[in-house]
């Protein structure tokens, strides 16, 4: 895709799932990648290995480089260090992918405040901190750039028993639109993707059980869960110059999950 070769992209939570696939895809497109991980250093090494393999199937992109950085995005000092070390290493940072995310489930009346704070801390505070630091760098170096928030269909679909997750993704949607408006004139685009049910470790409670997986997929108009690679393809598009006129949008990649599937057949006269 146009405009990605030679760019530097920081991907948070890139040791597994969607973040791993995004890192690999952006390397394949010719970006230098910063692979942030929280604790899974083996996963981060795996991302690095696969990214280099993919990048080198295209000789022009064989010079792609990767940096592995441990850090907890919910901690201000870690988020500042992640962005600063990316810039120190590569001399620039052009693309931020706010992917790190966690979830917990609980009836809302029993949701513990600490659990609530943890989910909001990683999913929303972490995304804000990384975006703030990246935007600061882009403004001070007078560079265009792109921030992409990995949100969820639960940015707009309420999810009972996942109150903190729903709030975090709803907030992320407003962060996307607010930052997009604030920095549009500076050449900084801010967009999001809203994945539907995707086969990744966050969902291992149903992905590894054929009966539960079939139940989940029965609710999806296209009849199947999505893949991390399908999410990564949309992220590569939004980060590229092919999307040069797109800002402030969340693109739902969900097999039709946000289409009100219950209306497939008429149920009113």
- Segment near ligand NAI (CB under 6 A), from 14-22, 26-34, 56-64, 180-188? 14-22
- Segment near ligand NAI (CB under 6 A), from 3-11, 49-57, 68-76, 243-251? 68-76
- Indicate if the alpha-carbon torsion angle 252, 198, 145, 59 is positive or negative: negative
Nearer to ligand NAI, 13 or 145 (CB): 13
Binding residue (CB under 6 A) for ligand NAI from 9, 19, 34, 253 = 19
For residue 83, give the nearest of 155, 147, 162 by alpha carbon: 147
CA 184/CA 200 separation, integer angstroms: 33
Annotated catalytic residue, options 37, 128, 162, 165: 165
| DSSP state at residue 185 | G
Task: Give me the 172-211 binding string for ligand NAI, x by CB under 6 A, dash otherwise.
Answer: -----------------------x-xx-xxxx--------
Residues in CB range of 192: below 8 A, 6 or more apart = 148, 149, 150, 151, 155, 172, 173, 176, 249, 250, 251
For residue 11, give the nearest of 231, 177, 187 by alpha carbon: 231
Tell me: does residue 149 bind ligand NAI (CB under 6 A). Answer: no
Binding residue (CB under 6 A) for ligand NAI from 38, 54, 125, 137 = 38
CA 134/CA 10 separation, integer angstroms: 9
Q: How far is the CB of 36 from ligand NAI (least distance, A)?
A: 6
* Catalytic annotation present for 183: no
Q: How far is the CB of 138 from ligand NAI (least distance, A)?
A: 21
Nearer to ligand NAI, 56 or 202 (CB): 202
CA separation, residue 62 to residues 27, 30, 56, 205 (Å): 9, 8, 5, 38
Tell me: does residue 74 bind ligand NAI (CB under 6 A). Answer: yes
CA separation, residue 226 to residues 13, 14, 160, 189, 255 (Å): 19, 18, 22, 26, 7
Q: Which of residues 208-267 bind ligand NAI (CB under 6 A)?
A: none
- Indicate if the alpha-carbon torsion angle 146, 79, 155, 235 is positive or negative: positive
Nearer to ligand NAI, 20 or 240 (CB): 20
Tell me: does residue 40 bind ligand NAI (CB under 6 A). Answer: yes
CA 245/CA 15 separation, integer angstroms: 31
Active site residues: 165
Binding stretches for ligand NAI (CB under 6 A): 12-13, 15-19, 36, 38, 40, 72-74, 99-102, 122, 150, 152, 195, 197-198, 200-203
């Amino acid at each position: 895709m146009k405009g990605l070769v030679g760019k530097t992209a920081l991907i948070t939570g890139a040791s597994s799932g969607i973040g791993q696939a995004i890192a690999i895809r952006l390397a394949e497109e010719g970006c230098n990648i910063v692979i942030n991980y929280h604790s899974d250093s083996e996963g981060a090494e795996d991302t690095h290995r696969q990214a280099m393999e993919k990048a080198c199937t295209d000789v022009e992109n064989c010079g792609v480089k990767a940096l592995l950085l441990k850090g907890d995005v919910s901690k201000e000092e870690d988020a500042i260090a992640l962005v600063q070390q990316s810039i120190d290493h590569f001399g620039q940072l052009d693309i931020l992918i706010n992917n790190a995310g966690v979830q917990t489930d609980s009836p809302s009346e029993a949701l513990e405040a600490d659990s609530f704070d943890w989910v909001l801390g990683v999913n929303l505070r972490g995304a804000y901190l990384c975006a703030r630091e990246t935007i600061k760098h882009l403004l001070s170096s007078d560079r265009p750039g792109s921030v992409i928030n990995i949100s969820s269909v639960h940015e707009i679909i309420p999810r009972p028993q996942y109150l903190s997750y729903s709030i975090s993704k709803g907030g992320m949607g407003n962060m996307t639109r607010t930052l997009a408006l604030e920095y549009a004139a500076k050449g900084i685009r801010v967009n999001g993707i809203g994945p539907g049910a995707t086969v990744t470790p966050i969902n291992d409670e149903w992905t590894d059980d054929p009966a539960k997986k079939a139940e989940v997929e029965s609710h999806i108009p296209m009849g199947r869960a999505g893949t991390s690679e399908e999410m990564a393809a949309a992220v590569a598009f939004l980060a590229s110059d092919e999307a040069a006129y797109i800002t402030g949008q969340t693109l739902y990649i969900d097999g039709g999950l946000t289409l009100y599937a219950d209306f497939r057949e008429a149920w009113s006269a």
